[in-house]
Amino acid sequence: MTSELDAILDSEKESINDPESRSSRVVEPVHRSVNESGSTSSTSLKSASILLYLMSIILIIVGFIVMFHYGDYKSDDIFSSGSKFGHIVGGDAYNYIIIGIRGVGFIVTGFVVTVIASTLLIIDTLKSVSVKIRD
């Protein structure tokens, strides 16, 4: 087994040193996926990142609305037509804490989605640079 490996290594060394065998080597072209419009398939990553950016903007706005909107609930008029959006438990301080934490949760989720969208754009850019380098 080792003699076969030595023979293969010797033939490779000879082919590297021989200029005629170097010129006879065939370099395989790099294949990439091209859709009908002629552009690479990176448009799907760009469209996904744009969608994620829009979703993150919506989540951040909803987070601020949830965090700062308490509603117009009157405790003495329980059957009023006012908004009971921010009233979860009986005490106002507990409601403020719960609403604040919910708002921060939406905002943090929006920032996480922004990081994911940015990562997709970075991957798309790296792929396009590597394709340009190969060409």
| SS3 annotation, 24-79 | CCCCCCCCCCECCCCCECCHHHHHHHHHHHHHHHHHHHHHHHHHHCCCCCCCCCCC
What does the pLDDT look like over 99-132, one tens digit per residue? 899 999 999 999 999 999 999 999 999 988 887 7
Higher-confidence residue: 95 or 109? Answer: 109
What does the pLDDT look like over 10-64, one tens digit per residue? 666 666 666 555 555 554 444 444 444 445 556 888 999 999 999 999 999 999 9
pTM value > 0.75? no
